[in-house]
Chains A and B, each alone.
Chain A
Amino acid sequence: MNAPALTVAGIGSRHATDDAIGLSLVDALEQLPENVRREQWEDADALSLAHRLLESSGPLLIVDCAEMGLAGGEWRCFTLAPDANAKLIPNSRSISTHGLGLAESLAIARQLGLTTAVNVFAVQPFELGLRPPLAAPLSEAMQDRLPDLLSALQRNIEILRKHIPEEA
């Protein structure tokens, strides 16, 4: 199988309400173009995430829940690069691996040689917190937003795919 032009990876947890939005959106993706692959990096700790980033063989689109200071359910799609105007904020209060997140995973992977372009489709949560067993993973408000978010994600996948050189 040829390397995919784009890997779409959902990350998050299904046990923390809207933190599951990345996983839910990637679950809901249908009929992806041939050279786009989907993966679920569910419940991955920071060290596993760093390894997955290092192992990725082409451009990435990470779909995740993010605190961006926006209204709940709003989304942004951005590229993570040194000269980009969107940056992930490391958790400066934690020196434990328990407190590490995507920002730290990406920093570790970059230092270890990751050169792949990393894009993020980020969604502002309505609600975060533990859900009771058997409850739907997302908040009702986020569940209502799911169709619009899915359309937005598909549009961005198409945009990214078109901008990727053929040899990628």
Chain B
Amino acid sequence: MSNDGHKTWTIALNHVTRVEGHGAIKVSTRDGKVEELKLSIIEAHRFFETFTEGMLPHEIPWIVGRICGICCVGHQLAASKAVESALGLTVSAQSQRLRRLLNESQFLQSHLLHVYFLAVPDYVGVPSVLPLIKTHPEVVKRALKLKHLANEFTTVIGGRALHPMSNTLRGWRKLPDLDKLEQIRARLIDALPDLDATVGIVKSLKIPDFERETEYVSLKHPDEYALYDGEVYSSDSGETTPASDYRNITNEFTVPHSTAKWARWHRESYMVGALARVNNNYHQLHPAAQQAAETLGLRAPCYNPYMNNVAQVVEIVHCAHNSLAMLEQVLNEGLVEEDIDYTPGPGHGVGAIEVPRGTLFHEFRFDDQGRCCDSDAVIPTSQNINNIERDMKAFAPRMVAEMSRDEVTLHLEMLLRAYDPCISCSVHMLDVEFVD
């Protein structure tokens, strides 16, 4: 470690790796002081809001699910809820339970992928998961097993692991097979020791010591740890707001160095995602997840953004146990074919759901012919980017004072990755450039 007090650097990470999409970090220092720090988002616009114009209501959830290959379930469910709200359609308790299972299966997929394959390499000092195959083969085998199980869980509930097609407006087009649900339940039970081992691994990681208190925003539900339903809660106001008022929550605005919009609510920025959810709804976590949080040293409220990865592990435990309870209910009660007919018509609705990276909002408006004439989507990462940059600005002076250039680079990347950003739907190659 060096600390010569004369550090004059420009660190330009033009393509941050192990995140979804293109993000770049640039930090300039002179004589040990940070002069400029920017988190640039350089993805092209996606135009999904335009694609949906003219579409019929039932087509929309499947189309907008393609916004993301990681959160395809979340986009599909948020859109389903928004369209159903617009048309006044009801959803049975059975279908709502299947949707909760589908959503939690996607949480397991996404969090397991991020924790094991994208985040853990940072903490053990290797560039990717591949070197761990030689040094920690049992860890990689466990990661593959759990990820595969989560994929199959989604497949059994939704028809396939990516972009499932079983869910539609009002319910399920093809109900899950009860025998396969029983198999998934048995495999989830078998996997519980693997989750304990996951907690053990993450407990051994050294999380950077940095705190910055911010506003934590998530859904909140009176009866459950809110992942599928609820109103929008702010840790600043201590109150919930209906999701239909999401434009006054996200208050989107633009900055010159980002093609993604930024967001702010009660203060200059806010955080959504696993840590925000755990902070806001800790007492509603499954007891096993609370135990995992205790083991991992995560106590709400926690102001260390790196602990978002730890919160993801806590949610993995929560989703596994909560899914087991829901599967048991489904297996006990059975499944019945339901009427999912509907008539397109005019209307306007908003849907909100928690996806692995935070709160997701969808809004649709339909004309007299039942064709979509206006839509909007606000994804979690666009809500987080403002907060990530402010975290970086808060931590960077200490990083520069205490760390080498390589360590500063790593800690900036780790901070971005801790939020598990989904900047688009793809991961891009490492390309780090230093300019002196």
Contact = CB atoms under 8 A, between A and B. Distances in A.
A112 interface: yes
Given A47-B148, A48-B148, A111-B133, A95 B128 contact: yes
Contacts, number: 51
B30 to A, nearest CB: 34
B316 to A, nearest CB: 16
A45 B151 contact: yes
Given A95-B17, A95-B430, A96-B427, A54 B144 contact: yes
Contact of A96 (B137, B145, B162, B429): B429
Contact of B160 (A43, A50, A54, A111): A43
B174 interface: no
Q: Kindly name the residue among A50, A95, A113 whose own CB sees the greatest number of chain B CB atoms within 10 A.
A: A95
A54 B162 contact: no
A98 B427 contact: yes
A22 to B, nearest CB: 17
A157 B83 CA distance: 50
A54 B133 contact: no
B212 interface: no
A108 B148 CA distance: 15
Contact of B133 (A43, A96, A98, A108): A108
Given A43-B160, A95-B17, A113-B137, A51 B144 contact: yes
A136 B401 CA distance: 63
Please tell me the size bucket of the interface on B: 20 to 34
A108 B17 CA distance: 20
Q: Binding site of A, secondary structure by majority: helix, strand, loop or mixed? A: helix
B18 to A, nearest CB: 9
A111 B129 CA distance: 13
Contacts of A48: 144, 147-148, 151, 161
B216 to A, nearest CB: 30
Given A43-B162, A95-B128, A97-B117, A51 B148 contact: yes
Interface in B106-121: 113, 117
Interface in B98-152: 113, 117, 128, 130, 133-134, 137, 140-141, 143-145, 147-148, 151
A145 interface: no
B6 interface: no
Interface in A76-98: 94-98
Nearest to A99: B427
A47 B426 contact: no
Interface string B402-433: 00000000000000000000000011111000
A37 interface: no
A16 to B, nearest CB: 14
A97 B140 CA distance: 14
Contact of A98 (B141, B143, B426, B430): B426
Interface in A100-120: 108, 111-113
Interface of A: 43, 45, 47-48, 50-52, 54, 94-98, 108, 111-113
18 contacts: A43-B161, A45-B151, A47-B117, A47-B147, A47-B148, A48-B161, A51-B144, A52-B148, A54-B144, A95-B17, A95-B429, A97-B117, A97-B427, A98-B69, A98-B427, A108-B133, A111-B137, A112-B137
Given A48-B151, A113-B137, 17 more contacts: A43-B160, A43-B161, A43-B162, A47-B117, A47-B144, A47-B147, A47-B148, A48-B144, A48-B148, A52-B148, A54-B141, A95-B430, A96-B426, A97-B117, A98-B69, A108-B144, A112-B140
